[in-house]
Amino acid sequence: MTDIFDQCDAILNELSLFSNELVYMGPAISDDRLELLEKQIGFVLPFDFKYIVKKHNGFSLDGNKVYGIDKELRGTSLDEVYMFEHFEVGNKMPLEFFPFSPDGYGNHYCFDLSNLNLGQCPVVFWQHDYIYENKDKVEECNASFVEWIKEVLINWTLEDYNYDGTSK
């Protein structure tokens, strides 16, 4: 488990290197709202996700965001997004998919909670306008949340910007 702590701390340290113009890191969570969410949805969330979101309840880099959980987020709180994507849309996600980051076009990066192993699970990309024959057809992007942050948030941002926010 120490390795996961180290990976999470390394990712948080790298995110903190970015200019405040590019990065937003939400406040810490000091209550049990993530554990209550797990009870509500009937799945355990990945350890790396819980660890990072407890330190920063919602964060973004260059406009790409990870949802937080709070009543004040009105429609973009993890619990509300989960309920909406599973019970209110036409093309509902499988219950074991947990949306945590939007792409801006109605699609989401999600955890496949049915494949949770040793506290981690793969990240998949759910397209809202594609009818999947079965959930195995959903693209797996990364093996874990930490890997997803490194690739999608950090590496993609570094293609266009330096840590100090200047364009490349």
Name the band, by pLDDT with cuts 50, 70 and 90, for residue 155. very high
E strand or H helix that includes residue 110: strand 108-112
Q: Spell out a b/e string for 9-23, using b for 16 or more CB atoms within 10 Å of the CB, else e.
A: eebbeebeebeeebb
Give mean pLDDT, residues 120-147.
93
Taking phi first (over 0 means left), then psi (-120 to 50 degrees means alpha), and beta for anything else, what does residue 69 get?
beta
pLDDT digits (tens, 9 = 90+) for 13-58: 999 999 999 999 999 999 999 999 999 999 999 999 999 999 999 9
Q: Where are the domains of the chain?
A: 2-160
What does the pLDDT read at residue 4? 87
Name the band, by pLDDT with cuts 50, 70 and 90, for residue 75. confident
What class does CATH assign to 2-160?
alpha beta
| Cβ proximity of 24 and 60 under 8 Å | yes
